[in-house]
Copies of this chain bind each other. A is one copy, B any other.
Amino acid sequence: MIHQLTLSDVLAEHARSRPQVTAVADGEVRLTYPELDERVTRLANALAARGVTAGERVLWLGQNAHAVLELLLASSRLGAIFCPANWRQSADELSFVLEDLTPKVVVWERSEAAAPLSGDGWILAGADYEAFLAGGSAEAVAEFADDTAPVLALYTAAFDGRPNAALLSSAALVAHSASLLVVRQMEPGFTFLNNGPLFHVGTMMFCLATLQIGGTNVFTPAFDAEEVCRLVDAEKVTQAFLFGQMIDAVVAANAGGKYDLSSLRFVSHSDEWDAMITVDDSPWCRSKMGGYGQTEVGGMLTFLGLAPGAAGFAGRPSPLVQVRLLDDSGAEVPPGEAGEICARGKSLFSGYFNRPELNAAKTRGGWHHTGDLGRREPDGTITFIGPRLRMIKSGNENVYPAEVERALKTHPAVADAAVIGVPDERWHQAVKAVVVLKEGRAASAEEIVEHVKGALASYKKPRDVVFAESIPKRGFTPDYDAIDAAHGGGNYPGS
């Protein structure tokens, strides 16, 4: 048992070794590590009194708040599983989560979608939560020591149309935090502003790494550019969950230089931004945060920051994992070939809650199958190609639309592209490309086919290329059902 380290243990250690450090800042609330430790003990005792034992679920339905971290740590102390759910979901979606997870306790912020579902065991965030916590005893909880037990559930990838809760253990989260501490070069004193949604791994992973190094987590309900500026200045924030347009919004909000943002040690973005903050040279910031990840690997699987000058834009694996690119038979594909990104190692998840068949399929051969395609470059680095979910079967060969689309988009005249399979008597399916040309550029179908042939194995090249004004999308990915309907797609394997 001397190898354990639960999230609850991490907190208990900091309460001793960092008695004066601020663990949490959230509006008027400021808690040192010993204060957070005592609140977590009270909360754990209060939850236990409501029947939350090892393996039971606790749900948070609301925006960012320090209560999220408290509920996670109290769940760890009890061996329970905590889930911060997406509060933006519809009543139907929320009701699926409730039926799926059957939580013993729900702590919630009042919302139109949640209100009709509320009932027994529901505690309103704010005064009710405070009263609930204060009612818990401050006596030490009987220790739950198994750090391989799940402690966090995050809803993610929808297979067969329903989302699944990825389960992460303390051991996995602690390992993932260690990899972030390495790549982000986090040190004591690190202050993270939780302004991204904590029901996503992208914000949660930095919240936990900040906890791991004994830093300070600042909470704000959601992204608001002016409020981010105010908090960075007031709390001397080291890093926030910011990129792209969010950074532009922060720059605009601070155009007059009202707030001092120099405590931010972060990625270079624009001249105005770089002048406001301290541009950081850690591998994470140097690489503009590139890499490949998903909830199921604890957050990040590969880091561009670990692969200076890399050919593959996803970089190299974290020091605590292994990656293999496998074909359908489970054999490794050679460098340069597309294969499913598979992983194992310390930060991996423990499967989805209550999905035994899916879990067996996803972890066949002892490797987690990410459902994404990648390629090993000659320098050993990894390129993320796209989801492997859609596959075309042509002449007994597998063709992944994402890979062909990537090749199409490297043609200088191509603005966008989608690839589908059309029924073919001889080959079962044939590859067909729908291509959008850049304004003022021209290219023939033959030219485009030749271009793909130069980049990929010949059987992957489109037999037909049709030109279109635009590609219909669902979010960021092509709406393949609409494209199939418009261009004669069908005969997909398994369909």
Cβ of A378: which chain B residues have Cβ within 8 Å of it?
Answer: 19
Distance in angstroms from A433 CB to nearest chain B CB is 32
Which residues 361-420 in A have Cβ within 8 Å of B in the complex? 363, 366-368, 376, 378-382
A145 at the interface (CB under 8 A from B): yes
Contact residue among B3, B5, B175, B188 (Cβ-Cβ distance under 8 Å from A306): B188
- Docked Cα-Cα span, A212 to B183, in Å, equals 13
By the criterion CB–CB under 8 Å, are A345 and B18 in contact?
Answer: no
Query: Which one of A97-105, A157-165, A249-257, A313-321 is at the B interface?
Result: A313-321
By the criterion CB–CB under 8 Å, are B308 and A13 in contact?
Answer: no
Distance in angstroms from A377 CB to nearest chain B CB is 10
A453 at the interface (CB under 8 A from B): no
Nearest chain-B residue to A302 (Cβ)?
A: B17
Contact residue among B185, B189, B367 (Cβ-Cβ distance under 8 Å from A185): B185
Contact residue among B213, B308, B343, B382 (Cβ-Cβ distance under 8 Å from A2): B343
- Docked Cα-Cα span, A167 to B260, in Å, equals 51
By the criterion CB–CB under 8 Å, are B145 and A17 in contact?
Answer: no
By the criterion CB–CB under 8 Å, are B382 and A17 in contact?
Answer: yes
By the criterion CB–CB under 8 Å, are B379 and A19 in contact?
Answer: yes
Give a binary string over A313-331; 1 marks a CB under 8 Å from any B CB, 0 the rest.
0001101111110000000
- Docked Cα-Cα span, A148 to B178, in Å, equals 18
A171 at the interface (CB under 8 A from B): yes
Q: A3-B172, A366-B2 are in contact. Are A178 and B182 (CB under 8 A)?
A: yes
A191 at the interface (CB under 8 A from B): no
By the criterion CB–CB under 8 Å, are A9 and B188 in contact?
Answer: no
Q: A213-B319, A380-B18 are in contact. Are A344 and B2 (CB under 8 A)?
A: yes
Q: Which of A3, A177, A189, A316 has its CB near the most chain B CB atoms (within 10 A)?
A: A3
Q: A3-B172, A12-B322 are in contact. Are A380 and B20 (CB under 8 A)?
A: yes
Known: A3-B148, A13-B323, A214-B319. 20 other contacts (CB 8 A): A1-B363, A2-B368, A3-B346, A4-B366, A5-B320, A5-B322, A5-B345, A5-B346, A9-B345, A13-B321, A16-B324, A17-B316, A17-B382, A181-B182, A181-B319, A182-B186, A182-B213, A188-B308, A212-B319, A213-B306
Residues of A in contact with B (beta carbons under 8 Å apart): 1-5, 9-10, 12-13, 16-20, 145, 148, 171-172, 174-175, 177-179, 181-182, 185-189, 212-214, 283, 306-308, 316-317, 319-324, 343-346, 348, 363, 366-368, 376, 378-382
